[in-house]
Structure 1
């Protein structure tokens, strides 16, 4: 009895085997291994491959999953899913084509192998011939198995084409749904815009109607008033006209009397001054306006000179009932302060044990200064160029220009990066015009930043000096509840 071995080993000369045609291409680098089973059945040894699911199974699972979630997915996501599956189906179709080519190559190889074995069988005899016949039978069995696989491949190819057509149709349907939903959305947006425009037009019409109704109501009210006046004049024409003429006459009389009273007051003031100057030994020289200096001058050469007299300036109350001494104003020259506007100034002159008093009229404001101060108050910080004349009562040697910053919360004196003083508003701070006989008294201010630190600052003009004083006092009172005046001033 002959024993069948699964592996056929033959030793034959190399020239006995016919060469395989060079135009045959193989799908893989290694040929599958086969062995004989019971009843001369050809069995293919399993090839160790990754146990990953086939691409076809993955596509079927995805298709079923898409079918289940069709109601939950949006149209755009559904179209994206179909496009992905369509790509996978195309890949599967390409793999099927590769398998078909590999099958064709297998047939060609088996045919050449069978021809080679047939030619070899005719040359051999005995046991080697039987082995060749067994090999021929194995090749025929392989051809049959290959034919079966070709049938399965054709069936799989048919199913893949069917699935590909289904996915193509589904992708087209999804794209149509996307376009349809997009058109519906555009239509809804346009309708919403139209509704908004209609609502806006309706609101505008309603507003115009309400304004027109208000205007109409006002016109009707005016017409009713005029009609009431007309009716009243029709009923009492003479009495009403008489009353109107009487009121007009009274107004004219009051106006004439007020003008006459002002003239009398001016004449009385002039006469008083002329009487005072007639018997007065000294007089005041200078304009009685803010920003000018008032000087005491002798009226004749027989009176004692100014250098041998002592002085004290006073500020009268607005009613003229009392007066307050201006601390430090004990010179023959005094530059008016913004606090003096509208007030009468007096100076007591003591000469040879006798005291003489000379008065001024109300100090008048400067034109344009109020608007300039209002402009500065709109800023959070105002800056002025000054020169330090004195510091703590001593003359300052440097005449360099410094910056005097007046802010809402503090005042700062600096030069570049160097800060001389920087103090917040407090009851210890003082700011007023200089009360001395200096030549530039109308441009200078006395500023006490704190106790033990004081300055005499000279501004570029009288206007800047008075504006700085007014702005600082306004900020101190409004923002810090501090009254900023001179030494010993009463408020």
Structure 2
């Protein structure tokens, strides 16, 4: 275009130029630069920005890559690759749709620009009119160029759709292959499971057959033994049968005589005790078993009161040749100790200068105590709930519950985190049943942890007290220490 000098002044009516619609959106903020070639052809200047290869080249490259990798990809990888390419093709199709909008906006803009130039040309003359005509020809050429670009875009869009359909079909084929392979794998797994079941059934049948054959062998062996016995009896039938009948008769007679002898002994002992109690002034009250309490009771009101008598309990030896003094047992009440089980107890009563001796039967252990002790010995230590009745010979005011731990190496008395005593088994330690006239003497024991520190502990039951004594003596004996009462012969 020629340059217009400032001397030329042309008044352009504003009404002749139609305004550009505000709905038009431009791809860029600058107007594209063009050059006119021969025959007024528009030559597009090369763009400085590089937008990469063309869409057609990209599609051809991807298609070639897919065809090359088709043979070396697995079915699952091929399916995933098809899905990715399908997504890429869909994205390209969306981009092509988005590019249609600027092309339509370009047509609208060119049409409006051409109409504006046509309206201006009617009001101009001279050189400026020629320039406007050239601009109109450039706009028309630009419209032709835009139409050609739209044709290429339509062709590319057709190829993209074609590729999308191809990729969809390929993806469906790949999915079919995946499902087919999956069905084949499931069928193989089911067949393998059926084989495993058949093998298991065969093993079970084999085991049953083995057990049946083993049982049959045992039955045959028993039959052979019985047959041997029968053959043996056939050789000496009368002698063997007579001996068996004699042995059975002798056993029955011995059993009857032993039961009758035990019954007579019990009746004789009971009659002797009744006669002694009738002739004596005092008697023993209480069960002669471990866990009970033996009391000396007057037989009549004519004898002196128990408070005016003196007592001393003794433990007879197993042979009955001598008796052992039970130190501290000088009251009218005595609770048997586990040491007394199987032995006879005696008490000497001195009243008005006269001495009277009462004798018990052997002390029996209560049923279930030994099994209870054995169950406690299986643990690392045994725990009991106790209350402190006396401490160092003085009554203890507090009756709070303490824990009495009997372990393999030591005994501990504590309440929560407060430890009253904790001592290992030593010769200075003493443990026995209480030997005073306490009301609950059968539940109490005397424990001397060390010299200068002793306790009288009351348990929840007689069984717990006797179990604690038996367990402590067992653990102490394992440590080469014998736990007994004061001045006991051990």
**How far apart, in 2, do the equivalents of 1:54 and 1:187 lie?**
48
Contact 1:59–1:88 (Cα < 8 Å) also in 2: no
**How far apart, in 2, do the equivalents of 1:244 and 1:464 lie?**
50
Across the two proteins, how many residue pairs are aligned to each other? 481
Structure 2 vs 1, CA of residues 474 and 78 (structure 1 numbering), >3 Å: closer, same or farther? farther
Matched ranges for 1:86-235 at <5 A = 86-114=86-114, 116-117=116-117, 120-121=120-121, 124-235=124-235
Which residue of 2 is the match for residue 82 of structure 1? 82
TM-score, normalising length: structure 2? 0.76
TM-score, normalising length: structure 1? 0.76
Contact 1:311–1:331 (Cα < 8 Å) also in 2: yes
Which residue of 1 is the match for residue 315 of structure 2? 314
Which residue of 2 is the match for residue 328 of structure 1? 328
- Identify the range of structure 1 (170-179 vs 78-87) with the bigger mean alpha-carbon deviation: 78-87
Q: How big is the shift at 1:391?
A: 0.8
Structure 2 vs 1, CA of residues 436 and 114 (structure 1 numbering), >3 Å: closer, same or farther? closer
**How far apart, in 1, do the equivalents of 2:412 and 2:255 lie?**
52
Q: How big is the shift at 1:64?
A: 5.4
Write out per-residue CA displacement over residues 47-86 of structure 1, whole angstroms, 9 at most, x where no aligned residue: 5657566666666666555555556766455434423322
Structure 2 vs 1, CA of residues 294 and 113 (structure 1 numbering), >3 Å: closer, same or farther? closer
Which residue of 2 is the match for residue 402 of structure 1? 401
Contact 1:304–1:351 (Cα < 8 Å) also in 2: no
- Identify the range of structure 1 (205-214 vs 55-64) with the bigger mean alpha-carbon deviation: 55-64
Which residue of 1 is the match for residue 33 of structure 2? 34
**How far apart, in 2, do the equivalents of 1:269 and 1:209 lie?**
66
Which residue of 2 is the match for residue 247 of structure 1? 247
Which residue of 2 is the match for residue 13 of structure 1? 12
Structure 2 vs 1, CA of residues 394 and 158 (structure 1 numbering), >3 Å: closer, same or farther? same
Write out per-residue CA displacement over residues 82-110 of structure 1, whole angstroms, 9 at most, x where no aligned residue: 23322321232233234345434434544
**How far apart, in 2, do the equivalents of 1:401 and 1:454 lie?**
18
- Identify the range of structure 1 (267-276 vs 425-434) with the bigger mean alpha-carbon deviation: 267-276
Q: How big is the shift at 1:446?
A: 0.9
Gaps of at least 5 residues in structure 2 are none
Which residue of 2 is the match for residue 423 of structure 1? 422
**How far apart, in 2, do the equivalents of 1:121 and 1:401 lie?**
121
Provide the secondary structure at the position in 2 that maps to 1:361.
coil
Structure 2 vs 1, CA of residues 35 and 282 (structure 1 numbering), >3 Å: closer, same or farther? closer
Structure 2 vs 1, CA of residues 351 and 88 (structure 1 numbering), >3 Å: closer, same or farther? same
Contact 2:24–2:109 (Cα < 8 Å) also in 1: no
- Identify the range of structure 1 (343-352 vs 433-442) with the bigger mean alpha-carbon deviation: 343-352
Provide the secondary structure at the position in 2 that maps to 1:362.
coil
Contact 1:85–1:167 (Cα < 8 Å) also in 2: yes
**How far apart, in 2, do the equivalents of 1:285 and 1:136 lie?**
143
Contact 1:406–1:471 (Cα < 8 Å) also in 2: no
Gaps of at least 5 residues in structure 1 are none
Q: How big is the shift at 1:362?
A: 1.3
